[in-house]
Amino acid sequence: MADLGQQIEELGQKARAAARVLALSSNDQKNAALMAMADALEASGEEILAANGRDLAAAPGYGLNAAAVDRLKLDAARVRAMAEGVRQVASLPDPCGEIIREWTRPNGITITKIRVPIGVVGIIYESRPNVTADAAVLCLKSGNACILRGGKEAIHSNTAIARALSAGAVKAGLPAEVIQLVPFTDREGVRLLAQMDRYLDVIVPRGGHALIEAVVEHARMPVIKHYHGVCHVYVDQAADLAMAEEIAVNAKCQRPGVCNAMETLLVHREVAEKFLPSVARALRDQGVELRGDRRTVEVLGAGIKAATEEDWTTEYLDLILSIRVVDSLEAAIDHIEHYGSHHSDSIVTTDEAAARKFLAAVDSAAVFWNVSTRFSDGGEFGFGAEIGISTDKLHARGPMGLEELTTYKYLVTGDGQVRG
C-alpha cells in the first residue's frame, strides 16, 4: 500500500505545482486551453467511444441497471455535446479577479475583497464519464487544478477523456497536470486522497451514500457533499392538473437515472381522485412502476404496489415512483422535511400564497414553482456545466458552477500606515 500512497502523493505534488501556474494564467490563456481541449475531445472521439465500449461490455458484471447503463453510455452525439459544453464554459465570464467589495478606512487603507481560485480540487464520482469533462473544465476556468477519481465502471472512458483534455491543455501551454485522473479505483485510494490535506484544498464526492460517507469519515480537508436526490413534486389543491401531469411525467421519465429526477409524487387529497388516474396512465405508458400509500391504492386499485416506509427515502434512479396523498400543503412540506434529501423539490399550484409558503418552508438547495425538478442543473441555470449539486449549505449549495469553485482574499493597500 506504500506504493499506492506514494502515487497519490505524487498526484498531489504535481497538482499543487500546476495550480500555481493556473492562478497566474489570464482568462485568454485559460480560454485558449479550453478551446484546445474541446478540439481534442472531438479528435479523440473514436478512441473515447472504443474505451466506452469496453466499459459497457463490463457493465453487466457490475450489476448496473438500465438507468445506470444509460448514464455510462457515450455515443458520437454525446461526445460532441461534451466538446460543445467545454466551449460554452470558455464563453462564460472568468470569476477570478472579480471585485466582490472595496472600501477605504478612515486611516486611508483601501481594502479590496476579490475572488480567487480555491487551489487544488479533488472530485470523486461514479458512473457518468461526462463528469470527467465537466469537472475538469470548470476547475480550469476557475483557476483550479483538479484530481479526479472516477468509478471502476467507467475507468476506460474516464482515462480516454482525461487524456484528451490534458493534451489540449498542453497544446495551449499549460501543464498537463492541471487535470489528473487517479488511475486506480479501489476504495483505499479514496481514503488516501481524502487524507491528503497537504495538497488538496477541498474534496467533492458525488455518488452513492456509502462513497460519500467513506470520504466524510476520512477527509482532513473541507468536504462538499453531493448526496442522493430524493426529489418531490407536490400537486396542490389549486394546481392546473394538465400542467401538473406534464411536470410529473417529465420529472420522472425524461431521464430517470439522474439525481434531479422526481422520486415521490405528493398529491393533495382534494384533487387525488381526479388527478391520480390520469397521471397514473401517463406514467405507466412510460413504463413507470407505481408504489402508493393506502389512499393512493384506494383510488388506483389493482396494479399499484403498496409503498413501504423505505420507499419514501429511496432514490430509485429508475422508472419507479412513490405516490402519497396528503391532507394539506403543510403535510406535504412535513413529508419533504422528514423524508427528503434537501436536493430539489417542486410545487404545482395557481395559488401564489401556497407557492410562497412552500418556497420559503422547504429547506432544499433548489425549490421550484410550476417547474420540473429536472431543471435543477448547472447548464439550465446558465452556469455552463456543473461539478454536481451540493446538498450542503457551506461552502456551496445547489448546482456548483464557476463561482462555487472560488474563494476570496483581501488586498490591503496603503501609503505607510502603521498601527498605534
Cell reading at 373? 425538478
pLDDT, averaged across the chain:
95
Q: Are 298 and 277 in contact (CB under 8 A)?
A: no
pLDDT for the residue numbered 384: 76
pLDDT for the residue numbered 413: 98
pLDDT at 194 over 90: yes
Q: Are 233 and 261 in contact (CB under 8 A)?
A: no
Residue 179: beta bridge partners? 146
pLDDT at 410 over 90: yes
pLDDT for the residue numbered 217: 93
Residue limits of CATH 3.40.309.10 in the chain: 231-375
**Overall average pLDDT of the 234-250 stretch:** 98
Q: Which CATH class is domain 2-224+400-413?
A: alpha beta
pLDDT at 67 over 90: no
**Overall average pLDDT of the 53-57 stretch:** 96
The 10s digit of each residue's pLDDT in 255-287 is 998 899 999 999 999 999 999 999 999 999 999
pLDDT confidence of 4, banded at 50, 70, 90?
Answer: confident
Of all residues in the chain, what percent carry a pLDDT higher than 70? Answer: 100
pLDDT confidence of 210, banded at 50, 70, 90?
Answer: confident
pLDDT for the residue numbered 200: 97
pLDDT confidence of 387, banded at 50, 70, 90?
Answer: confident
Of all residues in the chain, what percent carry a pLDDT higher than 90? Answer: 85
Higher per-residue confidence, 76 vs 63: 76
Q: Are 174 and 29 in contact (CB under 8 A)?
A: yes
The 10s digit of each residue's pLDDT in 144-186 is 999 999 999 999 999 999 999 999 999 999 999 999 999 988 8
The 10s digit of each residue's pLDDT in 83-133 is 999 999 999 999 999 999 999 999 999 999 999 999 999 999 987 899 999
- Superfamily in which the 231-375 domain is placed by CATH: Aldehyde Dehydrogenase; Chain A, domain 2 (3.40.309.10)
pLDDT for the residue numbered 147: 98
pLDDT at 9 over 90: yes
Q: Which residues contact 408 (CB under 8 A, 6 or more apart)?
A: 100, 113, 114, 115, 116
Phi, psi of 363 (to 5 degrees): -95, 65
pLDDT at 414 over 70: yes
pLDDT at 1 over 70: no
**Overall average pLDDT of the 186-213 stretch:** 90
SS (H, E, C) the chain: CHHHHHHHHHHHHHHHHHHHHHHCCCHHHHHHHHHHHHHHHHHCHHHHHHHHHHHHHHHHHHCCCHHHHHHHCCCHHHHHHHHHHHHHHHCCCCCCCCEEEEEECCCCCEEEEEEEECCEEEEEECCCCHHHHHHHHHHHHCCCEEEEECCHHHHHHHHHHHHHHHHHHHHCCCCHHHEEECCCCCHHHHHHHHCCCCCCCEEEEECCHHHHHHHHHHCCCCECCECCCCEEEEECCCCCHHHHHHHHHHHHHCCCCCCCCEEEEEEEHHHHHHHHHHHHHHHHHCCCEEEECHHHHHHHCCCCEECCHHHHHCCCCCCEEEEEEECCHHHHHHHHHHHCCCCEEEEECCCHHHHHHHHHHCCCCEEEECCCHHHCCCCCCCCCCCCCEECCCCCCCEECCCHHHEEEEEEEECCCCCCC
Kindly tell me the burial class for residue 6, based on how many C-beta atoms sit within 10 Å of its own C-beta (0-12, 13-18, 19 or more). exposed
Residue limits of CATH 3.40.605.10 in the chain: 2-224+400-413
pLDDT confidence of 344, banded at 50, 70, 90?
Answer: very high
Question: 27-41, 231-245, 373-387 — which is least confidently predicted?
Answer: 373-387
pLDDT for the residue numbered 2: 56
The 10s digit of each residue's pLDDT in 308-336 is 999 999 999 999 999 999 999 999 999 99
pLDDT confidence of 394, banded at 50, 70, 90?
Answer: confident
